[in-house]
Amino acid sequence: MPSFDIVSEFDRHEAQNAVDQANREVQGRFDFRGVDASFELSDETVQIQAEVDFQLQQMIDVLRNKLIARSLDPRCMDIQDPELSGVKARQSVKLKQGLEQKEAKDIVKRIKDSKLKVQSQIQGEKVRVTGKKRDDLQQVMALLRGDDGPDLALQFDNFRD
């Protein structure tokens, strides 16, 4: 029986490349001349440093554009609240990897509500969808990619026929 997995992952190497490109762009921009601003990727978190809050917002836009250019879904970004001190402004952007239990349950519920003839089950940080026809599985993919789908960075892998 055909099946596939629904996962939420990002390529760490591509994320590192996006952060490096964002650093280079910020260092070369005219509005950031003489400003101590930088990005740093550690584990699954991007630390952003600048002098004021307004610059943090510009830097998040730069990071988002670089992630898109490296074929990473910007919906994997979980932007935290900025930490403002007298001299520096810092902000963390967590890159979400894996489906949480609540998100997986929401995906399974959407699939069941669609009345398609497929079975879905949660397996750790992924959801496996199984059906008799390949067309049914493709309809599930279209359903989750659609406008009313979950606001998550989803990938479909391990497709077996």
Overall pTM > 0.95: no
* pLDDT computed for residue 85 by the predictor: 83
Which residue positions in the chain have pLDDT lower than 70? 147-149
Looking at 51, 73, 95, the residue that finishes a domain is 95
What phi-psi label fits residue 20: left (phi over 0), alpha (psi between -120 and 50 degrees) or beta?
A: alpha
67 in the same domain as 54: yes
Amino acid 3 reads: S
What's residue 45's pLDDT?
A: 92
**CATH number, residue 40:** 3.30.70.990
Q: For position 147, what pLDDT does the model report? A: 67
Alpha-carbon span 158 to 161, nearest angstrom = 10
Half-sphere exposure in the Cβ direction for 143 (13 Å, CA): 20
Residue 135 belongs to domain spanning: 3-8+99-160
For position 90, what pLDDT does the model report?
A: 92
Task: Return the biggest CA–CA distance within the chain.
Answer: 61
Last residue of a domain, which of 53, 79, 95? 95
pLDDT tens per residue, range 84-109: 887 889 999 998 888 888 888 888 88
Q: Contact, 13 vs 159, CB < 8 A?
A: no
